Amino acid sequence: MADEQKHGASRRQFLTGAAALGAGAVTAGAAKAAGPDPLITEVQEWASGLGDGVDATPYGLPIQYESDVVRRNVEWLTADTISSINFTPIHALDGTITPQGCAFERHHSGAIELKKEDYRLMINGLVDTPLVFTYDDLQRFPREQHVYFCECAANTGMEWAGAQLNGAQFTHGMIHNMEYTGVSLRTLLAEAGLSVAGDLKDKWVYVEGADASSNGRSIPMEKALDDVLVAFYANGEALRKEHGYPVRLVVPGWEGNMWVKWLRRIEVMNAPVESREETSKYTDTLEDGTSRKWTWVMDAKSVVTSPSPQAPIKHGHGPLVITGMAWSGHGKITRVDVSKDGGKTWETARLAKAGENKALTRFYLDTEWNGEEMFLQSRAMDETGYVQPTKAQLREVRGLNSIYHNNCIQTWYVTADGKAENVEVSS
Ligand code: MTE
Ligand code: CO
């Protein structure tokens, strides 16, 4: 009986799908096939011959029909592609893991090619035994595995003064979420004779990359000894060149700029270096024109990825899945609310899985849509009780001239024909 019901249900869905293909707009869940559908009744080309052999793709790429699921640039941000940024196609992805092949890239002096054999990692400064590790050396320490998001501090940075870029990929796509395998920085610092028992409260590590920019950043010792990873695998395979092959730093929950790629040196110091990347950049302009430094943690944030400007509603009225992602550098996402009326009323979304520490959480709102206009928003909450702010709340503190750390609530205006647009609501 249970089986029969299951079968019946899937067949009903199947007929609906077939009718939708043949007859255009139908009401989901209530359609009958208009007539024989050749996609069902005729033998198709793909069933009349043989497919590709197993030697066709030694390393697979997505099927050609998914060729629009790619990183994209914003032209006016990319005058120079070497010191630049591209964006993850978050509007076209589901789940939480970002494939390396379409995960955003940010380089200050281009993606370099560094062989494992040429790789060296130095730990020097205030340690008993300054050390140099080869790639093979690193492979011999106990490994850890964690999923973490990496968000550039500049994500959503173009939206401070007004709704600007038309697509979740462009407004929120400086983020990826991967499963990393690596050695904890704590382990390597201990190997170099950092006395974990000593007074480390005021100590810092300065981390730098092997690329021309070096992207040097100071990290307080408390974080360095907490959850920072020296990673060499992402999503089960070696890091891609553009993400720092063969070794990058993973600094969970903290701004992407600190996730140094092509990691070459870690110096233990008594004070922060105050490098370019932490003085003239990666500080936050406030309403009164002064700047705030050391804003490392990425606060809770979320965005509806579909529907959105690049992912309009293409089906008819009836069931609609609203989906998006939420994350917090302070820990786990506990709740996400969705509003269809620009924040006047809220419904609590369903989390696909319980929130994970400093990783993306997927949310769904399974709803009905009958062509009404929507001002779609999502609002994330994390385990500290923090609630994602509105744009107006954030502007009160930060003004209009900031760049980094914009975690405000995003609004998509969805029209009666299912198209979506980046807008602001006054509240
Ligand atoms: N590390 C080095 N060595 N060089 C860089 O240019 N860019 C930083 C950081 N680490 C950078 C770097 C910035 S600003 C960000 S947001 C992240 O790397 C982006 O990581 P991804 O390119 O893997 O997405
Ligand atoms: Co960045």
Residues 282 and 316 in one domain: no
Residue 19, pLDDT above cutoff 50: no
What is the CA(173)–ligand 2 centre distance, in A?
12
Q: How confident is the model at residue 426 (pLDDT cuts 50, 70, 90)?
A: confident
**What is the spatial distance between Cα 95 and Cα 260, in angstroms, rounded to a whole number?**
26
- What is the model's pLDDT at position 29? 54
Taking the CA of 245 as reference, the closest ligand is 1
Residue 149 shares a structural domain with residue 243: yes
168 pLDDT above the threshold of 80: yes
- pLDDT of 26 > 50? The answer is no
Q: Domain for residue 5, yes or no?
A: no
Question: Could you tell me which residues are beta bridge partners of residue 281?
Answer: none
**Structural domain that includes position 267:** 75-289
53 within a domain of the structure (yes/no):
no
Tens digits of per-residue pLDDT, 36-77?
A: 999 999 999 999 999 999 999 999 999 999 999 999 999 888
Beta carbons within 10 angstroms of residue 125's beta carbon = 18
Q: What is the pLDDT of residue 199?
A: 73
CATH code of 318's domain: 2.60.40.650
Q: What is the pLDDT of residues 130-146, one digit of tens each?
A: 999 999 999 999 999 99
Q: What is the pLDDT of residues 82-121, one digit of tens each?
A: 888 999 999 999 999 999 999 999 999 999 999 999 999 9
Of 260, 289, 318, which residue is a domain's last?
289
Residues 147, 272: one domain? yes
Same domain, 193 and 90: yes
Residue 377: what are its φ and ψ, rounded to 5°?
A: -140, 160
Query: Are residue 283 and residue 388 in the same domain, yes or no?
Result: no
pLDDT at 30: 55
**Where is the domain boundary, 289, 318, 336?**
289
pLDDT at 297 over 50: yes
* Of residues 363, 315, 361, the one with CA closest to residue 338: 363
Domain count, the chain: 2
The two structure tokens encoding residue 350 = 């369903």
CA 238 from centre of chain: 19
Residue 27 pLDDT greater than 60, yes or no: no
pLDDT tens per residue across span 204-236: 999 999 999 999 999 999 999 999 999 999 999
Q: What is the CATH number of the domain that holds 199?
A: 3.90.420.10
Question: Does position 182 have pLDDT exceeding 60, yes or no?
Answer: yes
Phi, psi angle pair for 378, to nearest 5°: -130, 150
**Whole-angstrom distance, CA of residue 275 vs CA of residue 297:** 18
Verify that 219 and 280 share a domain, yes or no.
yes
pLDDT of residue 197: 56
Percentage of residues of the chain with pLDDT beyond 70: 92
Asked, for residue 345, whether it belongs to a domain, the answer is yes
Is the confidence at residue 13, as pLDDT, over 80? no
- pTM for the full model? 0.92
Q: Which ligand is nearest to the CA of 175?
A: 1
Q: Which of 168, 191, 154 is nearest to 77 (CA)?
A: 154
Instruction: Name the one residue in this structure whose structure tokens are 């079968």.
Output: 7
Ligand 1 pocket check for 234: Cβ under 6 Å: no
Closest CA to 120 of 102, 135, 138: 135
Q: Is residue 257 part of a domain?
A: yes
Residues 306 and 266 placed together within one structural domain of the fold:
no
173 lines ligand 1 (CB under 6 A): no
Q: Please give the Cα distance from 348 to 131 (Å, whole number).
A: 51
Q: What is the pLDDT of residue 146?
A: 98
Q: Are residues 276 and 395 in the same domain?
A: no
Identify the nearest ligand to the CA of 403 by its number: 2
Contact 150, 259 (CB under 8 A): yes
- C-beta separation of 247 from 143 below 8 A: no
Residue minimizing CA distance to atom 5 of ligand 1: 107
Q: Which of 265, 289, 313 is the endpoint of a domain?
A: 289
Q: What is the pLDDT of residue 147?
A: 98
3-state secondary structure 173-226: CCEEEEEEEEEEHHHHHHHCCCCCCCCCCCCEEEEEECCCCCCCEEEEHHHHCC
Q: Is 259 in the pocket of ligand 1 (CB under 6 A)?
A: yes
Domain-located, residue 120? yes
Q: Is 208 in the pocket of ligand 1 (CB under 6 A)?
A: no
Which of 285, 56, 21, 59 shows the shortest CA–CA distance to 157?
Answer: 285
User: Is the C-beta atom of 256 inside 6 A of ligand 1?
Assistant: yes
DSSP state, 386?
A: -
Flag whether 61 is in a domain.
Answer: no
For tokens 């070696």, what's the residue? 238
Mean pLDDT in residue range 305-326: 98
CA of 288 to the centre of ligand 1 (A): 30
User: Do residues 272 and 312 share a domain?
Assistant: no
| Residue 137 covered by a domain | yes
* Mean pLDDT along residues 361-378: 98
Shared-domain flag, residues 365 and 260: no
Mean pLDDT of the chain: 91
Owner of token pair 């419904």 = 347
The confidence score (pLDDT) of residue 238 equals 98
Count CB neighbours of 261 within 10 A: 26
Return contacts of 21-29, CB within 8 angstroms, 24+ apart: 25/315, 25/316, 26/316, 27/316, 27/317, 27/318, 28/315, 28/316, 28/318, 28/319, 29/318, 29/319
**How far, in Å, CA of 211 to CA of 356, rounded?**
32
Sign of CA dihedral 304, 308, 309, 311: positive
- Kindly state if the Cβ of 243 falls inside 6 Å of ligand 1: yes
Token pair listed for 148: 């973490």
State the DSSP code for 140.
Answer: T
pLDDT at residue number 201:
76
Assess whether 115 and 237 both reside in one domain: yes
The answer as to whether 357 is a domain residue is yes
Ligand 1 centroid from CA 239, angstroms: 13
Say whether both 91 and 180 belong to one domain: yes
